[in-house]
Amino acid sequence: MSTALRLVDVTDVVEPSVPDPGSLEFVFIDLGSVDAVTKLVAFPKRILVSAAPARARQRLRSGDVLVSTVRPGLNGVASVSPPLEGAMASTAFSVLRPRPELVDDRYLFHWVQAPSFVAEMTRLATGGGTPVVSDLQVRASSIPVPPLPDQRRMAAVLDQSDQLRHERRSAIALLDELVDALLLDLLESTERVGRLGDLIESATPGSPVKSGAEVAVPLIRGSNILEGELDLPGLGVPDRDVHGLDPADPDSAELNRFLVRNGDVLFCRTGSATTLAKAAVFRGDAAAYGAPLLRLRPLVADAGDFLAAYLNGAQGKTSLRSLGSITAKSLVSMPTPIPTASALTEFSGRLHDIRLARASERLQSARLDELQTSLQFRAFNGRL
């Protein structure tokens, strides 16, 4: 049987503090230190006491729960582990210090990830571009409080489910590292250096888009390139016209100019830091592509995988930075290792196997996310 209490009733106030003036440096946790996906303090900073930011005003204890008050919909929360005892947290966090006689710290940590808590904070947030909630609003929110033994049991179940999710994400990360290792091996074994143009038929800028018209094919934008792959489901229903293309006309010159076909590489030459200079191989039916993108049409099918991996890799990024401005002409002229045909085929085949494994891991990861949501709902509604 749970009792609904406010967070302020089950947590202690963290009195303002400052870094120890007798120390040379201290550990500082700001909003960028917390990974909103893994819910871990993944990037703590070491800062000189003499350069301490004004926001470093909350001294932490092991078991404290951090809740970001900025963009609460992103749910930037984390639990303070023993190695972070004594670290200083930014005042952009609401630091929840559980009263051990009332609430278990792991139970509290899972509660602030619950969809109902996130929805309430999102609803209370104010501000246009950067929505925020106050520490008072966080502490005024309610939490179901069952007896401590039940809290610990539920937290243990949620911890186990969470561990499985972390292991799945780690497996996906290892597959990503394997791609980098394969590319490095290929580059080290490649003796010939030519131009990127040696591997492609053409480099064609995307179509400027008219507004307010309809079109029968979806439009790929730079934002559709995620982690070296195209997020095609994110295209949705087309809402723009691309120079009146008629996909039913196979002889249309304009159709061929602004449509991408299976095996083409799309490269984002302009845009934000999250999309700029990202590349991906298109796999699927016909689609149009926007002006920020260049379509690279490989001379041979197996070259597409190498081109995308190279442009996304460290060596490719170094070459891209040397271009100054990225245009179709400059990209075609960029110095590029030219692997043999057999090496390209082998690389493409191994990359295909990794894609299949990654797709399987991501499917399992999505299912574990659904399981975690279900367990949270049952736990905080007294059904677990």
Q: pLDDT category, 244, cuts 50, 70, 90?
A: very low
Neighbour tally for 324: CB within 10 Å: 8
How many of the other CB atoms lie within 10 Å of CB of 237? Answer: 6
What is the C-alpha separation between 319 and 64, in angstroms, rounded? Answer: 46
DSSP string, 41-96: E---EEEEGGG--TTEEEE--TT-EEEE-BSGGG--EEEPPGGGTT-EEETTEEEE
Element holding 337 (H helix, E strand): strand 335-337
pLDDT in tens, 151-169: 999 999 999 999 999 999 9
**3-144 topology per CATH:** Adenine-n6-DNA-methyltransferase TaqI; Chain A, domain 2 (3.90.220)
Give the model's confidence band at 128: pLDDT under 50 very low, under 70 low, under 90 confident, else very high.
confident
What's the pLDDT band for 129 if we cut at 50, 70, 90?
A: confident
Q: What is the largest CA-CA distance in the chain?
A: 77
Give helix then strand counts, H and E, for the chain. 10, 23
Q: 166 with 122: CB under 8 angstroms?
A: no
Distance CA 75, CA 113 (A): 7
* Residue range(s) in the chain whose domain bears CATH number 1.10.287: 146-189+341-384
The whole-number average pLDDT for the span 218-229 is 82
Q: What is the pLDDT of residues 247-295, one digit of tens each?
A: 555 445 555 677 888 999 999 987 666 667 899 999 887 788 888 899 9
Domain with CATH 3.90.220.20 in the chain: 3-144, 191-338
DSSP per-residue letters across 291-312 = TTEEEEEESSTTHHHHHHHHHH
Query: Does pLDDT of 241 surpass 70?
Result: no
**Domain 191-338: CATH class, spelled out:** alpha beta
Q: Does 216 or 276 have the greater pLDDT score? A: 276
Torsion of CA 84, 90, 94, 99, to 10 degrees: 30
Fold of 146-189+341-384: Helix Hairpins (1.10.287)
185/179 Cα distance (integer angstroms): 10
The model's pTM is 0.78
